[in-house]
Amino acid sequence: MLKQQILQIKTSAISKIEATENDSDLFNVEKKYLGKKGELTAILKQLKDLSGEERKSAGILANVTKNEIIEALKSKKAEMQRGRFDFQKEKIDVTIPGKKIKHGHLHPITIVQKEIEDIFTALGFEIADGPEVETEFYNFDALNMPKNHPARDAWDTFWLKPTNNRQQKTNNRSGKLLLRTHTSPVQVRYMQKNKPPFRIIAPGKCFRNEATDSTHEHTFYQFEALMVGDAINVGNFKYIGEQFFSRFFQKDIRIRLRPSFFPFTEPSFEFDISCTVCGGQGCRSCKNTGWLEVGGAGMVNQNVFVASGYPRNIYQGFAWGFGLERLAMMKYKIDEIRLFHGGDLRFIRQF
């Protein structure tokens, strides 16, 4: 009777083990027969109630069966392991074309800045730098615009609130902190540390608190030029300007200076170049004037030399501040300045 039962358990256990396809089914089969309340376990428990001879033979059969089931479980587990690492399925087709890795590239503003730096380095200029968070002193006072001077109104400024004592002290010493509205403060910073003659450009980010439109941004780039010596004059200035623009646009460019006003230059000019599209005849790009405006310029005001620690009326020099985006827009024929920082990849990817 008992032997019969054991043999039945054996066949059904082995066939169930063979039929299982996953770990949890296999676990359940093991539990069903060999678990604490398993069918074979129950039989093993009954053995002690049997008489001598019967107990012996049923005991042997039950234990052999138990081992056979354990073996079957083991080999099924091994088989499932192998299935998981089916090398046939895992093989790699090395002839499939690879995924293209996209390369990053420089932003159009950076490209233009590098070009400008290359041209000026070739003309013997040095590249200078200054902080984007500036003091009121460098952005205004040293540039001949004391507090309450109406000229300050031309630069809509982001003022920064002091957040600790150290900043408060700086405020007391050099005025409030602000985001620089132009690159002209670098003129003063450079002159405080260097003696003429020298020629520099200072490209960098500037900020203005103003409404944006297709030609105005709150964050934009300028590049300042400053050339100082004993006898630097407007002629030198025009020549350098002509050289730079002709190299930058790779065609002959003429320069036109119109009288203007900046507190830090005397005399001051608006700086125009002959239209890069029509060459000066007049077209839509230049509104039929033949000229394009590129920025402000002038001969350095003696008050700026004095604020930088130079004696009055010993040196002369010219300075200008041109918009980098504006030059990039002319070069690449872009009609919307907000595209530069808009984050639209369809625009950026074209460079």
Binding interface with ligand PHE (CB under 6 A): 182, 184, 262, 265, 295-298, 319-321
Q: How far apart are CA 125 and CA 108, in angstroms?
A: 23
Q: Phi and psi (nearest 5°) for 145?
A: -130, 80
Residue 329: closest CA among 221, 172, 171? 221
Residues near 291 by beta carbon (within 8 Å), at least 6 away in sequence: 256, 272, 273, 274, 275, 280
CB of 280 to ligand PHE, least distance (A): 24
Structure tokens that stand for 15 in this block: 């066939």
Return the residue nearest ligand PHE (CB atom). 321
Widest Cα–Cα separation across the chain: 129
113 vs 184, beta carbon nearer ligand PHE: 184
CB of 157 to ligand PHE, least distance (A): 12
191 vs 297, beta carbon nearer ligand PHE: 297
CB of 140 to ligand PHE, least distance (A): 11
Q: Which residue(s) pair with 198 in the sheet? A: 228
CB of 261 to ligand PHE, least distance (A): 10
Q: How far apart are CA 102 and CA 263, in angstroms?
A: 49
Q: How far apart are CA 349 and CA 351, in angstroms?
A: 5
CB of 235 to ligand PHE, least distance (A): 17
291 vs 322, beta carbon nearer ligand PHE: 322
108 vs 321, beta carbon nearer ligand PHE: 321
43 vs 319, beta carbon nearer ligand PHE: 319
